[in-house]
Amino acid sequence: MIKRAYIDLEVCSQSDDCSARQHCAKEAINFEDGKIYINQYCNGCGKCIKHCSNRAIKLV
């Protein structure tokens, strides 16, 4: 089973300046109504994890 990114919203600062978001080649980290979420295009590559300064992203 393919893993996908999961954002812990209790840890995430939910900034639209998210560095992890800028490094996702699939544009899978999105904002809507001020909320961050992972969309269906996430392929579980894990690149976003090292770019999150809050360590809010995990693969599950």
DSSP bridge pairs for 5:
59
The site for ligand SF4, by CB under 6 A, has a size of: 13
Could you say whether residue 52 binds ligand SF4 (CB under 6 A)?
no
What are the strands, taking DSSP E only, across 1-60?
5-7, 29-32, 35-38, 57-59
CA pair distance 13, 45, nearest whole angstrom: 22
In the complex, the smallest distance separating the C-beta of residue 12 from ligand SF4, rounded to whole angstroms, is 13
- Determine if 28 is a binding residue for ligand SF4 (CB under 6 A): yes
Binding residue (CB under 6 A) for ligand SF4 from 15, 22, 44, 55 = 44
